[in-house]
Amino acid sequence: MLESLAHGAKVMSGFERGKYGAKIRRKWFPNIRIVPLYSKALDKMIPVSVWSKKLRSIELYYGGLDNYLIKTEDPLPAKYEALKQEILEALRKKK
């Protein structure tokens, strides 16, 4: 599976009605995209696979990728945990 910042994103299943009222099983998949996000600490664009709902919260609530990775209490995949350590190291060097 793709390592992504899709906390809480799950495949949902259920039924929808067909043209003539028949029940049809259906699955709804989370909208996961690979989006380049800017890291101020590393001064570069980083491609991140993220759920579209989580992307809005990263941009609006946390104010960027750096703040999200530092402040989030959600468990991060290994790829993003390494990125978090890289960002923290870059911030320590700047001080």
* Domain containing residue 36: CATH number: 2.30.170
Give the domain range for residue 89.
Answer: 12-94
Return the pLDDT at 72.
87
For residue 5, being part of any structural domain is answered with no
For residue 47, being part of any structural domain is answered with yes
For residue 7, being part of any structural domain is answered with no
For residue 18, being part of any structural domain is answered with yes
**Residue 91 token pair:** 């911030």
- pLDDT above 90 covers what percent of the chain? 57
For residue 85, being part of any structural domain is answered with yes
For residue 1, being part of any structural domain is answered with no
Split at pLDDT 50, 70, 90, the class of 52 is: confident
Contacts of residue 17, defined as CB under 8 A and 6 or more positions apart, other chains included, come to 23, 24
Return the pLDDT at 9.
79
For residue 34, being part of any structural domain is answered with yes
pTM comes to: 0.76
**How many domains are contained in the chain?**
1
**Residue 82 token pair:** 């390494």
pLDDT for residue 89 is more than 60: yes
For residue 3, being part of any structural domain is answered with no
